[in-house]
Amino acid sequence: MISLEADVVIVGAGIAGCSAAIAAAKENKKVLIIEKSDALGGNATQSNVGTICGAYYRTFFEYPRIVGYSFSTAFLNKLTSLSVEKAPKNYHKGLYILSYEWSILQSFLEMELLANGIRIMKSSEIIRVDTKMNSINRLIITSGQESLEILPKAVIDCSGNGIVSQLAGLERIASPSYQSASQIFRVRGLLSDSEFSLNMSLKKAMSMLVKKNNWPLSFTYLSVVPGSLKNKQADFKITFPDTITDFDGTNNELYLKGRTSIETVFPFLTEEVESLRSASIENIFPKLGIRTLQRSKGKYILTESDVLSCKKMESGIAIGTWPIEEWQSDGNVSMEYFEPDDGYMIPADCLISFTLDNLYFAGKNISATTKAIASARVMGTCLQTGYAAGKIATCETSDGQKEMIALLNKELLFGNE
């Protein structure tokens, strides 16, 4: 069996995983990133979320402030320099979002990883985690037709479903079911250049068609992904009523069912919506937009109270600014806001394993309750937790880790002022 060594191994190449990899590499560490699929970006590219949320403070002033580290600012500036959209958009009640094109983001992430000397292993999956003396000492992965042994000094789980904790048999934060999932599909040949008018036409048509065809009520909320309407094409989002669980098989079946639903619904829409008369489906994105799954348990569990009270902590390594957002099975979304121009702090202990000394978390896998992760899961926050986890994981002593957390907290509070 081939054996590889790495200072930091990152599992999952979504926004959090890529941020963690870059942060660790900048500390002159040998970094390996393992991705189960054949592409980078996670849900951001393969589900095509289409908008970066939580990267700005919610505000009713004209210009929003970027939240997070100078790393976050540089990341967003580089991405917008490559994109059509150059500025954030006021989406709803002072919430600002930044639209992006999935292919540009995917290329940008690969470029950044390679520029920082990070080894990328796509189409690779962890199948075993061995521990010794309260630390991970070996990972077994499959890559293509072969098995590999990885010997890490530290591991950061950015998988979104706590796969490392699962395989190590650690306690996790789980629910019988999770928020409803959405599917994004791209439509071309549109005759409308107004996102508002198109959304109104879709809502009117779907309200009628849902009743007429006895489709799920959630289909009523079919809508255009904000900022995606351009050049006679747009991305549409449809929410499914089916239950999301931690079992991959069920979720994969839902994706296939979702494709069939979209292919069934769309011809009716082309008959009812004038601006869709000549339109066609260009692409149904390859991954279901699953918002949250089970998470790893850290030394601290972020709570709903922490979020809504905008709790500040001395060991805070990320600032969350997005409300608690929960999608229901009927297609409705529940939003619980806190005060504008403010945010809550995510403490470092949400990124550090409760059990293993060299296991860390970032992104949608941080230690948080169901309500809290419904806020902290967004990309703007994942950028920060990924960056922080990458830095913390490079520390070889507890004193070094404490010093790094203090530096991160200082930069977070004052670095962008």
Q: Give the model confidence (pLDDT) of 106-163 as tens digits.
A: 999 999 999 999 999 999 999 999 999 999 999 999 998 899 999 999 999 999 999 9
3-state secondary structure of 281: strand
Strand bridging mode 146-157 / 359-361: parallel
Q: How confident is the model at residue 403 (pLDDT cuts 50, 70, 90)?
A: very high
Are 185 and 284 in contact by the 8 Å Cβ rule? The answer is yes
Backbone angles phi, psi at 155, to 5 degrees: -130, 135
Find the range with the poorest average confidence among 78-92, 211-225, 351-365: 78-92
Q: How confident is the model at residue 415 (pLDDT cuts 50, 70, 90)?
A: low
What distance in Å separates the CA atoms of residue 10 and residue 30, rounded to the nearest whole number? Answer: 11
pTM over 0.75: yes
Which residue, among 328, 333, 302, 335, has the nearest Cα to 316 in the 3D structure? Answer: 302
Question: Is residue 417 scored above 50 in pLDDT?
Answer: no
Q: Give the model confidence (pLDDT) of 224-263 as tens digits.
A: 999 999 999 999 999 999 889 998 888 889 999 999 999 9
Q: Where are the beta strands (DSSP E) in 60-134?
A: 89-92, 95-99, 119-121, 124-132
Which residue, among 141, 121, 114, 145, has the nearest Cα to 3 in the 3D structure? Answer: 141
Q: How confident is the model at residue 84 (pLDDT cuts 50, 70, 90)?
A: confident
What value does the mean pLDDT take over residues 194-210?
96
- Percent pLDDT > 90 in the chain is 92
